[in-house]
Structure 1
């Protein structure tokens, strides 16, 4: 029996160039914005004040982003792909203009929230439209391209932000983001399907919102985001525990309600989809170490700020480059191996880097940090595109498949918020020693990444494959309470 899968070429994806540009561009502007804004904020605070609200910029953005990703399926159902993208780009551009014109920090925070809504919608649409706008055999390539935009944004964002901040032009940076959104929006009507192919007019008009689930996730992300800006370790731990309780409540509500955020297959006994999502979450949360890598590169390695920033982005660079190569895998056995080996490679890279952290490290040791970071990032790129496709292909039902694809963005943004808070907690636990903080951070996330190997093995069970051959009605009839 042929165990290989059909994987289109990059050249064939190029025949869908307009669609690929819109999908990838929507994710990229949001990813660039995260790190660009972080680089610009010190300059902005010096100009308009509001230093006491500094940390809330990321909190507001993350909460808004997660909320928007959870509304992707409803937005698509009501206004279709073109309307959804025009809305996403429009909201993001409006938020960017508001940020650029902000006379004070509270106004900037509102702008960041509006940006977050636009970025979350664009991120979710990027994954959802892979499912509906590209042929099945190009899903792996499309997923690799979309996922690579996160890594590219993490790499490009700080560099662009540093350039604009160097010249004191932080407002101009937000204007550039707005213009990029407008340009991509102009391309959307020509590049995307003109109508929804999966739902009738009646279904579009009555698409419900999973309000209880939405509120629980907002609460969990809000609590985690607040935990990430606290300095008291005990308070952070309590808030993280509260967030886990809210996530548990979210799962319980999702199981019992007919209107859900995640596909119903996620909660079906024996389904592998839940393990796919968990593996994606564990991989994505590992990127949180990038927040502190520039700091440790300067304190322990004696690197100048520019070089330290490059080291901080090396993980994302390894992620982005590797995805381009790993997406070429065709044999089913190779794909499964990559899904399991990816978290393991990330864990090994972070663990080795932890052992190489000590004060006054020699230049040779510091140089070794770079390939170790690239290898660690390669672990994410090795597995991520195939995990994304595993989620999309978990059902033959078009509506549920679209929801499964859009839910990837919700998982990614939520795990980013959890990862950021956990990174702050681990650094504080290891303090005041920089060496101890670095090791706590890296070893902590190495352990989480290693757990990703276990969830990937569970995702390699028969649940997902069985689900592919069954209709949604059959799955609902056998679902647990």
Structure 2
């Protein structure tokens, strides 16, 4: 039994051909604009602060944006029920564009923070919708490649965000960057009615999982605050609180409806919980990119712009590898890729830690890039197949949509956790940037390595799932 659709998976030209190109642009574009804006502001904020002050709120731009994203991904199912595919996407792009335009026009830091929250809500909706609507927008034979295209957008966004922000900041003008994002969002929204299949609206009575939403929001808030407070002890306390809140979330969800994750996640013998954990551990590794520019500048003397591009090697490896990985369809090969992905990610980060040296020579800096690329390739090998495993975990359309939307929730929350944990690890190094780099890379590698165990558990339990939990598609 396989968790991936049967194939002969068709060539990429079918996904990007005339029939499906519009849907692919909308699905991938929705994920991309959100991913770009995770890191866009980091490059723009110094210029914005020079314009109207508010340096004390500097770090809260990322915190508010990520928390809003997590909240919105959890509301995707209710929005789809009330608005249908087209209406939900139009609302998502409209919210994102409005938030981006408000950022561009912000007269003060407080307004910018609120605008970032609105932007994050739109980005979260679009990320969740991408994975939920793919079941209706594309035929099952294209799910793996469609998922690969969307998840690759996280990697592209991590590369394009700092690049776009740095470009505008270079000219001392930060507002046009947000205006450009508003235009892109509006452009994608304009084609939605023509390229997405309409769906029947529900009765609008899908309950909001208020308890689950409150617990995850609190956990996301705690881990985001842990990423910005000073002191290792305070950071560790924030992460510990977040973990306790997530444990409370699992207990609450197991008790019954309404819930965020599909009920299959909590049933004995189901592989879905292991699939989500593996996805989360892969996304966790991406967060180390936030600190790589610092290490490049301080240890190798790289200019800020070059250090930023160098740090995006992980994202580049993730994005490019998925193009080839999504072509793999054999049952055994897919199972191996799920385990190999976390192993390769952890090995790359571990080797990168070993290659850190004070006053790093140029030749060694050149070695860093392929090592980080290999680490990112580990994500690309496993992520699309794990995503399709989640989407294919049930025959129930409503539960399937919930399972798919949860992929975005897991990814956003894991990046937030990874950033906060990375901050704690960096602080352990104290005044030594070399020690900080090694703590961050070694610690993240150890955490990501556990993904091989959860992937193995997902493979093992998929062979013994009860009949009523069998995947929608049987493998070859």
Report TM bin, short chain.
over 0.9
**Which deviations, in whole Å up to 9, do the C-alpha atoms of 1:366-410 show, x marking residues without a partner?**
110010000000000000000000000111111111100000000
What is the DSSP-based 3-state SS (H/G/I as helix, E as strand, rest coil) of the residue aligned with 2:130?
helix
**Which deviations, in whole Å up to 9, do the C-alpha atoms of 1:184-224 show, x marking residues without a partner?**
0000000101123xxxx5x4321111100000000000000
Q: For the Cα contact (< 8 Å) 1:279–1:455, is it kept in 2?
A: yes
Measured after TM superposition, the shift of residue 463 of structure 1 is: 4.0
5 Å matches for 1:292-371?
292-371=291-370
Q: For the Cα contact (< 8 Å) 1:357–1:435, is it kept in 2?
A: yes
C-alpha separation in 2, matches of 1:154 and 1:166 = 19
Indicate which of 83, 104, 107 corresponds to 2:111. 107
5 Å matches for 1:28-177?
28-177=32-181
C-alpha separation in 2, matches of 1:434 and 1:213 = 39
**Which deviations, in whole Å up to 9, do the C-alpha atoms of 1:278-308 show, x marking residues without a partner?**
0000000101110110111111112122221
Measured after TM superposition, the shift of residue 324 of structure 1 is: 0.6
C-alpha separation in 1, matches of 2:469 and 2:53 = 58
Q: Do residues 13 (structure 1) and 15 (structure 2) align?
A: yes
Measured after TM superposition, the shift of residue 438 of structure 1 is: 0.3
**Which deviations, in whole Å up to 9, do the C-alpha atoms of 1:322-366 show, x marking residues without a partner?**
001100001111101000000000000000000000101111111
C-alpha separation in 1, matches of 2:36 and 2:448 = 25
Deviates more, 1:340-349 or 1:294-303: 294-303
Segments of structure 2 that go 5 or more residues without pairing to the other structure are: 472-476
**Quick one: structure 1 residues 4 and 40, their matched pair in 2 at CA, closer, same or farther if it must change by over 3 Å?**
closer
**Which deviations, in whole Å up to 9, do the C-alpha atoms of 1:422-446 show, x marking residues without a partner?**
0100000122111100000000110
What is the DSSP-based 3-state SS (H/G/I as helix, E as strand, rest coil) of the residue aligned with 1:113?
helix
C-alpha separation in 2, matches of 1:220 and 1:37 = 23
**Quick one: structure 1 residues 208 and 119, their matched pair in 2 at CA, closer, same or farther if it must change by over 3 Å?**
same
Q: For the Cα contact (< 8 Å) 2:269–2:465, is it kept in 1?
A: no
Residue in 2 aligned with 1:475?
Answer: none
C-alpha separation in 2, matches of 1:34 and 1:184 = 19
Q: For the Cα contact (< 8 Å) 1:297–1:308, is it kept in 2?
A: yes
Q: For the Cα contact (< 8 Å) 1:13–1:141, is it kept in 2?
A: yes
Measured after TM superposition, the shift of residue 42 of structure 1 is: 0.8
What is the DSSP-based 3-state SS (H/G/I as helix, E as strand, rest coil) of the residue aligned with 1:269?
coil
C-alpha separation in 1, matches of 2:46 and 2:465 = 52
Deviates more, 1:425-434 or 1:298-307: 298-307
Q: For the Cα contact (< 8 Å) 1:329–1:335, is it kept in 2?
A: yes
C-alpha separation in 2, matches of 1:146 and 1:75 = 20
C-alpha separation in 1, matches of 2:256 and 2:355 = 49
C-alpha separation in 1, matches of 2:385 and 2:67 = 27
Residue in 2 aligned with 1:375?
Answer: 374
TM-score by length of structure 1 reads 0.95
Residue in 1 aligned with 2:420?
Answer: 421
Residue in 1 aligned with 2:203?
Answer: 204
**Which deviations, in whole Å up to 9, do the C-alpha atoms of 1:441-479 show, x marking residues without a partner?**
00011001110000000010234773675589xxxxxxx
**Which deviations, in whole Å up to 9, do the C-alpha atoms of 1:108-150 show, x marking residues without a partner?**
0010000000000000001111122111111100010000000
C-alpha separation in 2, matches of 1:375 and 1:170 = 33
What is the DSSP-based 3-state SS (H/G/I as helix, E as strand, rest coil) of the residue aligned with 2:26?
helix
Measured after TM superposition, the shift of residue 5 of structure 1 is: 3.1
**Quick one: structure 1 residues 465 and 184, their matched pair in 2 at CA, closer, same or farther if it must change by over 3 Å?**
farther
Q: Do residues 195 (structure 1) and 199 (structure 2) align?
A: yes
Deviates more, 1:459-468 or 1:382-391: 459-468
Q: For the Cα contact (< 8 Å) 2:393–2:470, is it kept in 1?
A: no
Residue in 1 aligned with 2:474?
Answer: none
C-alpha separation in 1, matches of 2:469 and 2:193 = 34
What is the DSSP-based 3-state SS (H/G/I as helix, E as strand, rest coil) of the residue aligned with 2:203?
helix
C-alpha separation in 2, matches of 1:205 and 1:295 = 48
Deviates more, 1:461-470 or 1:307-316: 461-470
**Quick one: structure 1 residues 103 and 8, their matched pair in 2 at CA, closer, same or farther if it must change by over 3 Å?**
same
Segments of structure 1 that go 5 or more residues without pairing to the other structure are: 473-481
